Amino acid sequence: MGPKLKLSLDVGTGGGSIGGSVIGVAEQSDMSKLIPANPDGMKLRDKDFEFEHELGAGNGGTVSKVKHVPTGIVMARKNIIVSVDDESNRKKAERQLKSELKILHECKSEFIVSSYGAFSHDGAVSVCMEYMDLGSLDGIYKKHGAIAEATVVKIAVHVLKGLMYLADNKILHRDIKPSNILVNSKGQVKITDFGVSKQVLDTLARTFTGTQGYLAPERITSGDVYTVTSDIWALGLTLIEIATAKHVYPMMTLFEMMTYVQDSDPPSLPPGKFSPLFEDLISKCVIKDHMQRAGPEGLLQHPYCMDAVEGGISLLEWTNTLDKDE
């Protein structure tokens, strides 16, 4: 089985993280060939960037906050190196990277972290992404505590709209979790990290990827089946986590997790602490039978989501209470 390229890097509280990744280097090819053509886009060159500080590191890669000097735009820059010790596996990894860059290049939504483009440098690919100055939901709740229910529902609406946009474009994210949902001081909430996303031509994706603590039951019983409703399960767990400031499942091995998710009741909010509407919304996200679980469009019709769209707390009011990453 060939190597899997994961264009992700959890950077915890680091603001504006969009992920970075590395597959170990043994032999490199011309990385510029993997970058989608963008004749009308911003011209990006290594010498035009001013390093500010590192946002996070993992798997041998780094994500940095940088300033594009010609425009003055602050960005998050990740470096990706594709290299393995086998020619056929290297080509598979490069094809996957090319596909991921294409997805980043084509996604244009106010609910998806945007890409300024990519360029090759010193045998690697640098991807320059929108900088989200308040970081991830993971970092926010770990620093500030549980997020208020009304705010969580508003966040859910933004993520559902992002997932609906991806589904409309035949893209599954496949790694929804608090560290892959970013926030900025403009009150915007956006999905990031397409390292394990997949552009699909049919209704099913057949690969076992994602973060184990957020795997839907169908991923465990039939690991080759994935639809957008599997992202909804992960969103349900994410909403519980940020509303309670606790992981839904205790730390356990992958095998223990698989058994636990299969055999236990669906996760739920602590009784008596949240409104019936919020409890109902969560319950619809975590229906164990994925054929009965609603997709993003259906959940946006939930009364609580509809109320959040029309009114409720302003996310800008909430973000004004949070600390920027400087």
pLDDT tens profile 120-166? 887 778 889 999 999 999 999 999 999 999 999 999 999 999 999 99
Q: Tell me, what's the pLDDT at 306?
A: 94
Question: Which of 39-48, 99-108, 214-223 bottoms out in mean pLDDT, i.e. has the lowest?
Answer: 214-223
Residue 18 has pLDDT above 90, yes or no: no
Instruction: State the Cα–Cα distance between residues 254 and 212, nearest whole angstrom.
Output: 6
Beta bridge partners of 79: 126
Active site residue 86: no
Q: Per the annotation, does 78 bind a ligand?
A: yes
Strand partners, 78: 63, 127
Domains of the chain (ranges, CATH numbers):
21-130 (3.30.200.20), 135-319 (1.10.510.10)
Calpha distance 52→91 (Å, rounded): 34
Which segment, 79-83, 104-108, 261-265, 268-272, is predicted with the most confidence on average? 268-272
pLDDT of the residue at 228: 85
Which tokens sit at 117? 């483009």
Structure confidence at residue 27 (pLDDT): 44
Q: Could you tell me which of 27, 197, 47, 14 has the C-alpha nearest to residue 119?
A: 47
Confidence of residue 311 (pLDDT cuts 50, 70, 90): confident
Mean pLDDT along residues 299-316: 90
Which residue would you say has higher pLDDT here, 307 or 78? 307
pLDDT tops 60 at residue 284: yes
> Are residues 208 and 219 in contact, defined by beta-carbon separation less than 8 angstroms?
yes
Query: Which helix (H) or strand (E) segment is 276 a member of?
Result: helix 276-285
Beta strands in 271-318 (DSSP E): none
What pTM was estimated for this model as a whole?
A: 0.82
Is it the case that residue 270 has pLDDT exceeding 50? yes
Selecting among 175, 193, 231, 325, the annotated active-site residue is 175
Least confident of 31-45, 185-199, 216-230: 31-45
Q: 3-class DSSP state for residue 214?
A: helix
Q: What is the mean pLDDT of the chain?
A: 79
Both structure tokens of 96: 């996957």
